[in-house]
């Protein structure tokens, strides 16, 4: 016999993957240029030049045994030091290499944090709409995911619901801003209120409540929007970062966990992070990409291309009568479906070769996610299809 829980996870494809596979089949049938696939969050903008240049240089000049060898489990010391110094300079905090743990991307950062913190009966709170894998990571760590319903008007936090869901079992709160799938960036006011509520709850229940900030889209923001750095607002913070989106390297699997030095007994918590990484079998993050991350630490892909896509798509959709909060970051639009069943809406969209993702798994039935990390040309060609889809409902 084997684990039915793991069988369930492995045998059922995510909705996004189902749509992606359908898209591949359809592209083979009618030609890729005729299918408007908005399903995946795979960056469409190439990595900045420094990525390939640094990789070539490292391969040419560095000792191959060291370059491809194991690093220490928490990551190469100099890499962690460089990244810590960069974070300090950007956000005015005081981290050292000892606060950083290199990971294979934000997915690993999150699952390690959940495993490091989780005790029986613990609850982790997150806010709808949320990245669907949170449920997998929290439940795999033996805890329960509690979801605060969405504020459909703004997709900022509904604080009354949040307050009502905190209890003595609350171990941590997971937030994600800029958000997948809404594209919303939590305002400073939202962050301040969130942190005040958490401090009150810590006092009331007499134990630490951790804040896990999932930040793969930190740099992907538009119109000079600022993304508050959570460690400056709340002591018991973990930042789960990834280079998947900022450097367009999702397949290379590189990111980190930063443990705040203001967290009570942070050295022990950091040791628990190292222990969780060990228990989950993450021997170390890829050696060459750790070094690459340190050397391209202040670079990003060309974010302007995503902004151009956002403006084009948002402008078109609003004109055709779709309702949507204007995204300030990430590369997703979260649009109200034109009928209550988002699955049925996505099925109708397929008639026009539009591949969209129903919001149900993100904790938001009645909405659909459109990933605009695609070529601008695809958006231009897809706009008439979006218009025809809207007209079908407006008849």
Chain positions contacting ligand PLP, by CB under 6 A: 41, 105-107, 131, 176, 180, 214, 216, 242, 244, 250, 255
Nearer to ligand PLP, 45 or 201 (CB): 45
Instruction: Check: CB of residue 93 under 8 Å from CB of residue 229.
Output: yes
Residue 34 tokens read as 């005729």
Tokens read off for 69: 């060898």
Cα–Cα distance between 37 and 353 in angstroms, integer?
8
Instruction: Please state the closest distance from residue 168 (CB atom) to ligand PLP, in A.
Output: 28
Output Rg (C-alpha) for the chain, integer angstroms.
Answer: 21
Beta strands 210-214; 144-148: pairing state:
unpaired
Output phi, psi for 250, to 5 deg: -65, -30
Residues in the chain: 395
Which CB, 37 or 214, lies closer to ligand PLP?
214
Structure tokens at 198: 């958490």
Q: Which is nearer to ligand PLP, 111 or 378 (CB)?
A: 111
Q: How far is the CB of 176 from ligand PLP (least distance, A)?
A: 5
SS3 355: strand
The minimum distance between CB 16 and ligand PLP, in angstroms, equals 10
Q: Using the minimum distance from each CB to ligand PLP, give the nearer residue, 215 or 235.
A: 215
Centre a 10 Å sphere on the Cβ of residue 200 and count the other Cβ atoms it contains.
Answer: 13
216/363 with CB nearer ligand PLP: 216
**Angle formed by the axes of helices 49-61 and 287-295, to 10°?**
120
Task: Supply the minimum distance, in Å, between the C-beta of residue 71 and ligand PLP.
Answer: 18
The distance of closest approach from Cβ of residue 313 to ligand PLP in the complex, given in angstroms and rounded to an integer, is 18
List, in order, residues 6 or more apart from 353 with CB less than 8 Å away: 26, 30, 34, 35, 36, 385
Coil/strand/helix, residue 153: coil
Rounded to whole angstroms, how far apart are CA atoms 222 and 313?
A: 14
Q: Measured from the CB atom, is 179 or 187 closer to ligand PLP? A: 179
DSSP character string of 131-159: -THHHHHHHHTT-EEEEEPP-TTT-S--H
Burial 13-25 (b: 16+ CB within 10 A, else e): eebbeebbeebee
Instruction: Give the shortest CB-369-to-ligand PLP separation in angstroms.
Output: 10
Residue with smaller CB distance to ligand PLP, 123 or 214: 214
Residue 103 C-beta: closest distance to ligand PLP, Å? 8
Q: Which is nearer to ligand PLP, 41 or 359 (CB)?
A: 41
Q: State the nearest-atom distance from the C-beta of 244 to ligand PLP, in Å.
A: 4
Which candidate, 91, 370, 107, places its Cα nearest to that of 99? 91
| Contact of 351 with 338, CB cutoff 8 Å | no
Rounded least distance, CB 23 to ligand PLP, Å:
17
Residue 23 vs 41, nearer CB to ligand PLP: 41
């Amino acid at each position: 016999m084997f684990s039915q829980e793991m069988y369930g996870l492995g045998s059922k494809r995510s909705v996004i993957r189902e749509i992606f596979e359908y898209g591949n089949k359809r592209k083979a049938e009618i030609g890729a240029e005729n299918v408007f696939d908005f399903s995946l969050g795979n960056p469409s903008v190439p990595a900045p030049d420094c990525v390939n240049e640094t990789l070539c240089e490292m391969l040419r000049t560095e000792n191959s045994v060291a370059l491809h060898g194991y690093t220490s489990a928490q990551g190469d010391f100099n890499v962690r030091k460089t990244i810590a110094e960069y974070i300090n300079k950007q956000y005015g905090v005081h981290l050292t290499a000892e606060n950083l743990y290199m990971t294979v991307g934000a997915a690993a950062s999150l699952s390690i944090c959940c495993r490091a913190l989780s005790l029986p009966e613990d609850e982790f709170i997150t806010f709808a709409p949320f990245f669907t894998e949170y449920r997998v990571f929290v439940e795999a760590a033996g805890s329960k995911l509690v979801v605060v319903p969405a504020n459909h008007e703004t997709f900022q936090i509904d604080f009354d619901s949040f307050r009502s869901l905190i209890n003595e079992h609350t171990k941590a709160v997971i937030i994600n801003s800029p958000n997948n799938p809404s594209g919303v960036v939590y305002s400073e006011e939202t962050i301040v209120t969130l942190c005040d509520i958490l401090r009150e709850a810590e006092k009331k229940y007499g134990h630490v409540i951790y804040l896990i900030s999932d930040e793969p889209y930190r740099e992907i923001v538009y119109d000079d929007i600022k993304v508050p750095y959570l460690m400056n607002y709340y002591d018991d913070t973990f930042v789960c970062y990834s280079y998947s989106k900022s450097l367009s390297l999702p397949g290379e699997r590189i990111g980190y966990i930063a443990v705040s030095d203001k967290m009570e007994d942070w050295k022990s918590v950091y040791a628990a992070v190292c222990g969780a990484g060990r228990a989950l079998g993450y021997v170390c993050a890829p050696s060459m990409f750790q070094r690459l991350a340190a050397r391209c630490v202040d670079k990003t892909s060309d974010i302007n291309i995503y902004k151009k896509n956002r403006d084009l798509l948002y402008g078109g959709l609003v004109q055709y009568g779709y309702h949507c909060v204007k995204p300030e970051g990430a590369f997703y639009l979260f649009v109200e479906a034109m009928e209550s069943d988002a699955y049925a809406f996505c099925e109708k969209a397929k008639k026009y070769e539009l591949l969209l993702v129903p919001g149900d798994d993100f904790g938001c039935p009645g909405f659909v996610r459109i990933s605009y990390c695609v070529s601008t040309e695809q958006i231009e060609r897809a706009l008439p299809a979006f218009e025809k889809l809207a007209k079908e409902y407006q008849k």
